């Protein structure tokens, strides 16, 4: 029986050694395959994951900035429109030469006809 146990122990050691050798062969094959794939991908100008993520983050930031600028532009356009609507057009007079001239309101009399409190009195 001891002979059988020794034979079984030897077989187990040989099998374990073979599995270890196959494991190292597998790791070596994976390393070579990975290196070959990296060479092929580098020739194809494929970007790395890090480069892709960096560009993706930049694009997301640019999109956010563009949306913020669009909102700001819309607010500015609304402000300009409200200021344009609130401002009354100035009357236009024709000078003797036929050239239109813009008539500015006098400082003493605003357009509403009430005296201007900011105007200085004439001396």
Residue 35, in any domain of the structure? yes
Structurally, the chain folds into a number of domains equal to 2
- On whether both 14 and 34 belong to a single domain, the answer is yes
Q: Which residues span the domain enclosing 39? A: 8-46
Residue 53 placed within a domain: yes
pLDDT confidence of residue 74: 96
Q: Is the pTM of this model over 0.85?
A: no
Q: Considering all CA atoms of the chain, what is the largest pairwise distance in Å, rounded to the nearest integer?
A: 137
Q: What is the pLDDT of residue 123?
A: 46
Sign for the CA dihedral angle at 43, 46, 47, 49 comes to: negative
- Domain membership flag for residue 111: no
Beta-bridge partner residues of 94: 100
Same domain, 12 and 42: yes
116 domain-assigned: no
Q: Are residues 38 and 53 in the same domain?
A: no
The low-confidence residues of the chain, meaning pLDDT below 70, are: 1-4, 88-123
């Amino acid at each position: 029986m001891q002979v059988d146990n020794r034979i079984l122990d030897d077989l187990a050691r040989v099998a374990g050694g073979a599995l270890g050798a196959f494991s190292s062969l597998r790791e070596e094959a994976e390393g070579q395959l990975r290196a070959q794939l990296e060479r092929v991908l580098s020739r194809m100008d494929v970007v790395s994951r890090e480069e892709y993520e960096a560009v993706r983050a930049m694009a997301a930031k640019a999109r956010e900035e563009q949306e913020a600028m669009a909102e700001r532009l819309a607010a500015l356009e609304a402000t300009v429109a409200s200021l344009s609507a609130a401002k009354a057009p100035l009357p236009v007079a024709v000078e003797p030469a036929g050239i239109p001239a813009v008539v500015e309101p006098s400082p003493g009399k605003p357009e509403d006809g009430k005296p201007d409190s900011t105007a200085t009195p004439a001396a």
